[in-house]
Amino acid sequence: MSDVTARVRKIVVEHLGVEEANVVESASFIDDLGADSLDTVELVMAFEEEFGIEIPDDSAENIQTFGDAVEFIAGATAAS
Amino acid sequence: MFDLTGKAALITGASGGIGGAIARALHAAGASVGLSGTRVEPLEALASELGERAFVLPCNLGDAEAVAALPKQAAAEMGSVDILVNNAGITRDQLFLRMSDEEWDQVLQVNLTSAMRLSKAVLRGMMKARWGRIVNIGSVVGSTGNPGQGNYAAAKAGLVGMSKSLAYEVASRGVTVNVVAPGFIATAMTEKLTDDQKTSILGQIPAGRMGEAGEIGAAVLYLASPEAAYVTGATLHVNGGMAMF
């Protein structure tokens, strides 16, 4: 889990250009981290690539916060 | 000017007169070209005429699975798809009151839905590369309407609305989406017209002649070029003044 958290955080920091300290579990990509809707699509693309998973559109829509992303990816990678 | 060296372009309907001319124009500017169409023979002939950097990618755009496979095949052959030209189109002309759902659906499927599917599939790579060009081939009848072509005109007008919406969404990622709307272009299709039909058509065209397929190719080349980076959501009418907007 901590490995996933660190890798997801790195992607978010790089893609959105935000401070690492702001990427906390409850941080909303759009409301807190300044992402626009297209950024969230690109983040999901980057997660898919980094972790070699596929995130279906309806799951992607539910990934609103950093915590949501970590939780989904940890689940998806544990399953595979 | 208009150097596409290192870029890869996927062109649908490349077996036709206009599609072939678009492929020639992009290829001459240095791009690799993926030639898609339903008829393999003309695609093979065009590929051997062009020589290097030309790939034959047969596809029936009425078949959803084939449409899903096409961008993957194109990327496998060329490494990426930097330029997508949705040129393929069919007609099923019919008076509106007699038009069947099937005639409507077939035209919308090939002329509009496949353009949406292909655009969606190639956007990922374009957004990541922060560079991409989508050029949709519309028609003057998408703006003017045409009796007997309710389905075709709807699909072509639909391409314009789709292109503008998508242009908004991806402009910040270096991807442009534009439409080239040809008027009457001399192709195998227009050669079948009678002299009377030709005279009547020419009477509506201020330029006094039909367009050449190469003139559409040149318009597409411009919109696909790095120089056109600031042009997006536009419709470029290439119709000899037949209709001015």
| Residue A7's CATH number | 1.10.1200.10
Answer whether B128 touches A (CB < 8 Å): yes
CA–CA distance, A15 with A34 (Å, rounded to integer): 11
Domains and CATH numbers, chain B: 8-238 (3.40.50.720)
- Cα–Cα distance for residue pair A39/B204, rounded to 1 Å: 48
Summarised one tens digit per residue, pLDDT across range A29-54 is 999 999 999 999 999 999 999 999 99
Higher-confidence residue of A51 and B190: namely A51
CB pairs under 8 A between A and B: 10
- Give the whole-number percent of chain B exceeding pLDDT 90: 93
Could you confirm whether A36 is annotated as catalytic?
Answer: yes
| Strands B132-137 and B32-37, sheet pairing | unpaired
Confidence of residue B227 (pLDDT cuts 50, 70, 90): very high
In Å, how far are B140, B196, B201, B239 from B206, measured between CA atoms? 14, 18, 10, 9
Cβ-defined contact of B172 to A42 (cutoff 8 Å): no
What distance in Å separates residue A27's CA from the closest CA in chain B? 24
Mean pLDDT for the stretch of residues B148-177: 97
DSSP letter at B111? I
Give the ipTM of the model, two decimals please: 0.79
pLDDT digits (tens, 9 = 90+) for B39-73: 999 999 999 999 999 999 999 998 999 999 999 99
User: Given CA atoms B68, B136, B154, B158 in this order, what sign does their dihedral have?
Assistant: positive
Domain count of the fold of chain A = 1
pLDDT for the residue numbered B189: 72
Q: Which of residues 150-189 of B touch A (CB under 8 A)?
A: 169-170, 172-173
